Amino acid sequence: MTRMILAALMGIAMLTACAKAQEEGKEKPCDAKSSQAGCDKKKEPEPRIYESTSRIQLEGATVRYKVIAGETFIKDDKGEPTASIFSTSYIADGFQDPRTRPVAFIFNGGPGSASLWLHMGIFGPQRVMLPSEPGDDGAAPYDIESNAHSILNVADLVFIDPVGTGWSKTLGEAKTDEFWGVKEDASSVREFIRRWLVEHKRWNSPKYLIGESYGTTRSGALINALEGGWNDIAMNGIVLISSVLNFGLDATDPGNDVGYVGLMPSYAAVAWYHGKVDRTQWNNDFDGFLADARLFATDEYMPALLKGQMLSPESRQAVAERLGAFIGLDANYLLRSNLRVMLRRYMRELLRDQGLTVGRFDGRFKGDNPDGVAEYPEGDPSGYGIDGAYTAAMMDYFSRNLGVEISERYVTLGGVRAWNWDADEGGGDNSYVNVAPWIERAMRQNKDLRVLSANGYYDMATPFFSTEMTLAQPSFDRSRLTITHYPAGHMMYLHPASVEKLAMDVRQFIGGE
């Protein structure tokens, strides 16, 4: 009995000692006065990174590559994470010398759009295939194929989702207004690029920016942030896809008549496409027709708008008839609208007799409009005609091909709301954003910087003629500027022939041709 009691007492003592040791080994919570060792400090979140490898056939050669999809933390001056930027990097094997291997940083626009459009539309190794003719994308399953148009054979690719898009977000106590603005956005993307170059040891590689839509605005603000100081990151080239650099030439706000001038040739192109123009007047020559439309816009239409009520009734009638012949609307309608047709009205009016509306991003698209007298369309058929396919394709590719396991909502477009449009000090609310001077200056101060501007004829969101007028300003070095056009819309990679030509144009541009 005595032995049993002693054994029990020893067991209790051992359990007590073990519990005490475990308690002493625990990390203790920290408080303001605590300095004891083992106090539990708040752990920083770790970036989620997913790596894989693959290969693709491009222009008759096999390209093997590494994929890094994941988060990069942007930190403040105290080293605290303030934002997480998600990106997808494709780095090809077999290129040991960074001086001969370019890297392209790619993003879309919005503001508020993730990079899935350029990723799954033209430049990435996988591409979502939509019908060759413009129309609604319907529902899954969608066709996703190896992309023969990818430019991975001429450059490593880094697709960037700025804060508020994709899975990119603020961290800690950071506020969205620290990132949502022309300059704020450019600052965070610049820091991402700097971090990427450090991590991958690519400071001495040729570097390119490729942006679409507001992504071209971002490129202008970003080139200012990248090259605007002594610690600059010099770029070799900028690819502007569906540009909006000077909002004063794109906006059709009351009192800003030049916006209608920039938009008018796009109206004309869309009217031609839908058979609302008497093509025999131009011998079925589309290029000649658009050349005349540009000339009419600057030499007749602009003076008429500027004269306003000083324009004689006879001249007003003549301009209305001439304008109607170009853009496919009745002269009386144009007179009632004071020769100024807002974009949403044009989308609704052109095919009103057919009960249809045309697309804003791509005027080739048509959508039903059940209200025959509605002033505006119920939506953009070139937007709702593609968004389901691109979102599904991107999510499927991330999860199945790249092994990305993130359950948070992926923001395709529209995650950003309150955007700070003040791009310069003293700009105020009564001015238009214009980043073109920053690109001009960068070209003056960097002799190797070249610019490629790609434009769709049927794009009424960022009109091609507005871009042409912007790039025609005196300070641009035209010898290092290339402007190309495609028989497509804002996303010219929706058009089979245009995606092939755009990919070839970008390859040649990066190759220095």
pLDDT score recorded for residue 14: 45
Range of the domain at 279: 250-381
**Residue ending a domain, choose from 312, 346, 381:** 381
In a domain, residue 353? The reply is yes
Domain count, the chain: 2
Same domain membership, residue 239 and residue 256: no
The whole-number pLDDT of residue 380 equals 86
User: Is 44 a member of any domain?
Assistant: no
State how far the Cα of 499 lies from the Cα of 495, in Å rounded to an integer: 6
The pLDDT of residue 370:
83
Regions of the chain where pLDDT drops below 70: 1-44, 425-430, 513
Residue 5 lies in a domain: no
| 357 found inside a domain | yes
Is 72 in the same domain as 192? Answer: yes
- Mark whether 158 and 289 lie in a shared domain: no
* 226 and 300 in a common domain: no
Q: What are the Cα distances from residue 467, in Å, to 344, 436, 462, 479, 488?
A: 20, 10, 8, 17, 16
pLDDT of amino acid 426: 44
Which among 381, 416, 441 is the end of a domain? 381
Does residue 242 sit in the same domain as residue 289?
A: no
Give the domain CATH number at 426.
3.40.50.1820
- pLDDT at res. 252: 84
* Residue where a domain terminates, one of 359, 381, 403: 381
Looking at residue 244, its pLDDT comes to 96
- Write down the mean pLDDT value for the chain: 90
Domain membership flag for residue 29: no
Of 85, 103, 81, 79, the C-alpha closest to 154 is 103
Tens-place pLDDT, residues 401-450: 999 999 999 999 987 888 999 887 444 555 789 999 999 999 999 999 99
Asked if residue 227 belongs to a domain, the reply is: yes
Contacts of 216 (CB under 8 A, 6+ apart): 109, 240, 241, 242, 243, 244, 245, 462
- Residue 76 is which amino acid? D
Asked if residue 494 belongs to a domain, the reply is yes
Region label for 168, one of left (φ > 0), alpha (ψ between -120 and 50) or beta (otherwise):
beta
How confident is the model over 310-363, as pLDDT tens digits? 999 999 999 999 999 999 999 999 999 999 999 999 999 999 999 999 999 999
The per-residue pLDDT for 12 is 40
Contact yes or no for 413/112 (Cβ under 8 A):
yes
Handedness of CA 301, 303, 308, 313 (dihedral sign): negative
User: Same domain, yes or no, for 150 and 207?
Assistant: yes
184 vs 511: CA distance, rounded Å: 32
Helix axes 286-296, 258-273, angle to 10 degrees: 160
Task: For residues 353 and 267, state if they share a domain.
Answer: yes
Q: Tell me, yes or no, whether 369 and 452 share the same domain.
A: no
Shared domain check, 254 and 366: yes
Give the C-alpha distances (Å, rounded to integers) separating 127 from 110, 149, 488, 508: 21, 9, 18, 21
Domain identity same for 290 and 429: no
Whether residue 243 sits in one domain with residue 320 = no
Q: Work out the burial of residue 416: count CB atoms within 10 Å of its CB; fewer than 13 is exposed, 13-18 middle, 19 or more buried.
A: buried
**Do both 371 and 394 map to the same domain?**
no
Residue 422 forms part of a structural domain = yes
Q: What global pTM score does this model have?
A: 0.90
